[in-house]
Amino acid sequence: EPEPEPEPDAPPPEDEWADLPDNDGDGTPEQVEDFAPPLDENGTQGDGNGDGIPDREQTDVASIPVRVTDRISENPDATQVFISLIGGTDTNGGDAENPNTGPTPAGGVAIRAVSQSDAPPAQERAGITMPLGLIGFEAQVDLEEGAEDAGEVPFSLLIDGELPVNGFWKQTTEGDWVNLASDAYGGAASTVGTKTRLDFVITDNGPFDTNPDIGAITDPGAPGYRAEVDPDPDPELNFAEVAMHKLAGEVELSEPLLSIFARILNRQVTLDEEAGTVEYGAAFDNLLSVFTFVATDTGDRPDSPFEYGTRVAQAKEETQAAFFVDVNDALNFAETAMQRLAGEAELSEHLSSIFARILNRQVTLDEEAGTVEYGAAFDTLLSVFTFVATDTGDRPDSPFEYGARVEQAKEAAESYMQTDVQASVPDEAEGLALIGQPMPADLSTELLV
C-alpha cells in the first residue's frame, strides 16, 4: 500500500491559485486559507480571526499571505505573513467582556478579493511606515430593500502583531493621509491575541470607495505606522527628571521608575521660563526624596529617604540654575543640528520647534569642556525629524539616506555651539544664524561697527 503524501508545510504559490478550489468565493483558495495562523496559541490554524469557523468556509472572511515589503514589485520573495480581512464587523476593538476577542462577521458582506501592491514613494507618505505596501480589497454588500446604497460598511483587518502598524491609512483627494482606524473616522486599533486588529468603516460610494457600483466596495489602503508627536512637550517633566538626578548625585536611577515618578512629580512644579523662576507644590520636597530613594538601587540608597536633608534644597537650586540654561542650549543645539543636516532645504519652523524639544532630551552639553554627549536614539531621531520637517519636494526618498551627513551635521553643530556667537550677537542675528539663513547686510554692518 503506497504511503500517503506528506502534508505541505507552506501554502501553494500564487501562480497555482487559479487551478485550486475557492468555494467561498473570497479570491483565496481553501488550501491557502488553511495556513492562516490562529489568533493566539490556543486557536486553530486556518481560523485567522478566531471565531471558531474555518476561514475557508466563510465568504466574509479572507485570509491571504502577503510579503513584508513596501515594494512587492521589486521584492516578490520577501518574508511571507498572513493577513485576515473580515467584512461586516463591529468597530469596538473586541468583545466588551473579553477585549482579546477577534472580530466576528455579522453577515451581509462578501469578500471577493484581497491583494497587495506597491506603496507610493517614501517622500509621498507623510512619514508613514508601510511594511506591507498597499492592501486592496473588493467586497459586495447585501442591500436592504429600497436602499439607495449600502451606507457605512465596517471592516476589520488582522495583521501579525510583530509588524509596526498603528493604523489603516488612506489618502484624501487633497493628498492628506488619514487614519481610518482611529476615533476620528469611526475606527479603532487594538491588539487581539498575537495580532494587531484594525477596525475601519468605508462608506459605499463615499470618498474612500473607488468602485462606483452600488453595494460594491473597492478599497486600497495602507496598514502602517506613524509616530504620534506630542505637540506640546511638558517642560516640567524634564525639570522633575533633572531634579531627581541632581539629588541622586553619581548614583544611577532606574529609567522606568524615573519616568513614572517624574510624571507624578511634575504636577508639583510650575515653571516660568521667561522669568526663570519655579514654583513648587507643598509636597515637592517629600516626593522628590521618596521617589529618588525608591528609584535608586538598594545597595546605593541611604537608610531613609529623609536622610537626603539639605541636599534636597541644593538639588532644587542646581536644577533651576541648570534647567533654564542647559535646556535652551540643548534646544539651540538640536535645532542647529537639524538645519545643518537639511543643508539648503527649508525646514518647517513649527515642526522644528516641536522636534527640537524632543531631540534635546538626547543631548547633554558640557560647555566648560566643550563636549556633547548623545543619547542612543539621537542619530535616528535627528534623521527622522529632519526628514519630516523638510518640504516633501526637497527631502530624500528615506530618512536613512542622510548617511554620513548625520555625523557631519553633529560636528557642525558642535563647532557652532563652541563659538561665542550666542554671547556676542544680538537676538535677531542669533535667530538668523541659528536657522542657517544669511544675515541681512545692514545688520552685518551694524555688528562690525
Within 30-152, residue ranges assigned H as helices are 30-33
Which three three-digit cell numbers place residue 345? 532645504
- In this prediction, residues 11-24 reach a mean pLDDT of 92
Which position has the higher pLDDT, 32 or 317? Answer: 32
Cβ–Cβ < 8 Å for 400, 394: no
Q: How far apart are the first and last CA of the chain?
A: 105
Q: pLDDT tens across 75-109, in order?
A: 999 999 999 999 988 644 444 344 446 787 878 89
pLDDT at residue 424 in the model: 31
* Residue 194: partners with Cβ closer than 8 Å, 6 or more residues away: 37, 39, 40, 41, 160, 161
pLDDT at residue 170 in the model: 94
Which three three-digit cell numbers place residue 171? 489618502
Q: 3-state class of 38 per DSSP?
A: coil
Instruction: Look at 158-162, 233-237, 265-269, 330-334 and tell me which has the smallest mean pLDDT.
Output: 233-237
Which position has the higher pLDDT, 142 or 348? Answer: 142
Which position has the higher pLDDT, 447 or 18? Answer: 18
Phi first, then psi: give them for residue 294, nearest 5 degrees. -70, -35
- In this prediction, residues 368-388 reach a mean pLDDT of 80
Where does residue 303 rank: exposed (0-12), middle (13-18), buried (19+ CB within 10 A)?
exposed
Which three three-digit cell numbers place residue 133? 505596501
Cα 353 from Cα 231, distance rounded (Å): 10
Cα 234 from Cα 252, distance rounded (Å): 23
Average per-residue pLDDT in the chain?
Answer: 80
Which position has the higher pLDDT, 115 or 335? Answer: 115
Which position has the higher pLDDT, 109 or 418? Answer: 109
pLDDT at residue 96 in the model: 39
- In this prediction, residues 207-231 reach a mean pLDDT of 83
pLDDT at residue 179 in the model: 93
Each as own residue / partner, the long-range contacts of residues 324-331 (CB below 8 Å, 24 or more positions apart, any chain) are 324/273, 324/276, 326/365, 327/235, 327/238, 327/360, 329/365, 329/367, 329/417, 330/360, 330/363, 330/364, 330/365, 331/356, 331/357, 331/360
Range list of β-strands (E), 297-383: 363-366, 371-374
* Residue 14: partners with Cβ closer than 8 Å, 6 or more residues away: none
Cα 437 from Cα 440, distance rounded (Å): 9
pLDDT at residue 5 in the model: 66
Query: Which among 175, 87, 72 has a CA at the least distance from the CA of 126?
Result: 175
Cβ–Cβ < 8 Å for 80, 98: no
pLDDT at residue 136 in the model: 95
* Residue 290: partners with Cβ closer than 8 Å, 6 or more residues away: 305
Say if residue 425's pLDDT is above 60.
no
Cβ–Cβ < 8 Å for 311, 247: yes
Cα 408 from Cα 148, distance rounded (Å): 61
